Chain A
Amino acid sequence: MTVPQTGPLLSVEDLVVEHRTPGRPVVRAVAGASLHVAAGEVVGLVGESGCGKSTLARAVCGLHGAASGRIHVGGRPVTPLGLRRRDPALTGVQMVFQDPYSSLNPRRRVGAQIADGLRTAGDTATSPADLLERVGLPRAFAGRYPHEFSGGQRQRVAIARALAARPSLLIGDEPISALDASAQAQVARLMRDLAVESGAGLLFISHDLSVVRLIADRIAVMYLGKVVETGPTAEVWADPRHPYTRALLAAIPSPDGAGVLPAELPGDVPDPADPPAGCRFHPRCPFVMDVCREKEPDFGPVACWLHAPEPSSLS
């Protein structure tokens, strides 16, 4: 890429994304989230469904306009995708979607769909078959249609298509949740390996914490539109600090044969159209204090009053 690299590859600052439906209150799907991805780094974004992780990913791709906040990729602001041709500098952001049954065009051969990506990158040396080989599929499959593949194979084709555009930032929006259990870990590892190999950053979104743990260098936990905790994967796993992260990790059943039922997090995710005052997690938090109900914890890496920085540094 010719774009000058200053700071992280992807930086998202105080991003707010709103969904507007006529006759309904405005839903703040992403309510001031900040996130960074460095080149060659794999960041796992986890959280329950409805917490805004997919919306964040779509905003990074320009599929959703931001109400406020900044998204920069390689130092350039990301503009919403319109009818015009994408700014060539921004085709370095490529996305692999959740459902490979609907993200591939059923009426075009997969080779032709991968060739679209190659044309975007102005790459005449690589053939679609080369890319199929890289994702572990036989070269001859380029002449086939999507329906001739299994779910895991289709997702590999979708990854090949994203890689064809020579991305500097690859985004996977729940790329494994539509796949069989046996294919999930394989596809996740493949995405990691291919991204790291090509020096691209990978933002991997999933609600499956065990897979994220497997492939991510850093982990970001999102709750109701906000990133509540970030840190290196091993650290977060060994010592989760935000009560929500703790609850999330405690809910994973362990296959130890002991018959221990996982801990339940009481309550439901509140309506994002009407989030609770103060800390967004306070109605479900077991350690709730008075300050949590009044003031929103606006700091990182752990957005929780239990882990507040020194009071002097807060205004």
Chain B
Amino acid sequence: MTAAQKTAALTIEGLRVSIGGHDVLHGVDLTLEAGRVHGLAGESGSGKTMTGLAVLGLLPHGSRASGRIAFGGRDLLEMPARELNEVRGAKIAMVFQDPATSLHPMLTVERQLTEHMRHHLGIGRKDARERAAALLAKVRIPGPEEALKRYPHQFSGGMRQRIAIAVALACEPEVLIADEPTTALDVTVQAGILRLLRGLCDDLGLAVLLVTHDLGVMSAVADEVSVMKDGLVVETGPRGRVLREPRHPYTRSLLDALPVPPGENSP
């Protein structure tokens, strides 16, 4: 367990992003630690997803980013495209909201799991296949060997998201960015995915940035919580403190707007 380690895996300082002259992020500061889940909350349009995309250098065309994203002693924003390509997908991986669209519908699961693995790690087809089967077992897909030959549409939504997580984990990343990974799923399936994410974070010492609008999800898995509003982080702190004694009025308004009042739990 590396969960106790307190090392900053990735630091975002004063990140500003503007798209077409319109500012979307006004100086975001975040620190991700190995073995910890950092939750990023906020309403849509607050810049949660943009923060995640900026880390991977996946911002839309015509956008400008300034500030600093420190990873392994380097600034990702300054990095040449070639080098960034080596980090992206290998050291920093991402899981997207909708597994139905983030997986390629016409490629087998094996192909999607092994392609970037062979590229980044330079391993052979056979080794990659073995690793892929092991990964599927790790994300608890029943019958991993069989599953490799199948296509995404042959799996349920929850299984697809597990596969997408396996794809993200294939190159043993240090940082995992999960953008609303359970929003498209049923609550019962969501529970499984959240447990999986938490377990992977604890076992592999991953630094996870969990972007979600669901404060319940946040409360279940995040260690640290940051709340964003209009391109700014308005509050950061340990989960229990932020959700129980919010200091910023915006965090309080988010909690008050919940259909299920906090503290009044289902049986």
Contact = CB atoms under 8 A, between A and B. Distances in A.
Q: Do the two shown chains form a genuine complex with each other?
A: yes
Interface of A: 48-50, 180-182, 185, 207, 209-211, 213-214, 237-240, 246-265, 268-269
Nearest to A266: B192
B255 interface: yes
B65 interface: no
A259 B44 contact: no
Interface in B71-109: none
Contact of B189 (A48, A211, A240, A250): A48
Given A182-B44, A246-B267, A250-B267, A255 B262 contact: yes
Nearest to B265: A254
B186 A256 contact: no
Given A185-B259, A210-B259, A248-B188, A256 B243 contact: yes
Interface of B: 43-44, 156-159, 186-192, 194-195, 198, 213-223, 239-244, 255, 257-260, 262-263, 265-267
A205 to B, nearest CB: 13
Greatest chain A CB density within 10 A among B242, B258, B260 is at B260
25 contacts: A49-B157, A50-B156, A182-B43, A207-B186, A207-B187, A210-B258, A210-B259, A237-B266, A248-B187, A252-B187, A252-B260, A253-B214, A255-B215, A255-B219, A255-B255, A255-B260, A256-B263, A257-B240, A259-B220, A260-B220, A261-B194, A261-B195, A262-B220, A264-B192, A265-B191
A261 B158 CA distance: 17
A252 B216 contact: yes
Nearest to A262: B191
Contact of B190 (A210, A251, A254, A268): A251
B248 to A, nearest CB: 15
A241 B143 CA distance: 34
B76 to A, nearest CB: 29
A247 B214 contact: no
Given A48-B186, A251-B187, A268-B156, 12 more contacts: A182-B44, A209-B187, A211-B259, A213-B259, A240-B267, A248-B188, A253-B214, A256-B244, A256-B265, A258-B219, A259-B239, A261-B195
A161 to B, nearest CB: 25
A269 to B, nearest CB: 8
Contacts of A247: 188
B44 A257 contact: no
A53 to B, nearest CB: 11
B266 A250 contact: yes
Contact of B260 (A49, A182, A213, A260): A213
Contact of B44 (A180, A209, A248, A249): A180
Nearest to A189: B259
Nearest to A215: B259
A262 B190 contact: yes
Given A181-B44, A255-B258, A257-B243, A249 B266 contact: yes
A253 B266 CA distance: 9
Nearest to A257: B243
Best-buried of A180, A181, A248 by chain B (most CB within 10 Å): A181
Contact of A254 (B188, B195, B219): B219
A279 B216 CA distance: 32
For the complex of A and B, the 7 pairs showing the least CB-CB separation, nearest first, are A257-B243, A253-B216, A255-B215, A253-B220, A181-B213, A262-B191, A180-B44
Contact of A255 (B159, B186, B189, B218): B218
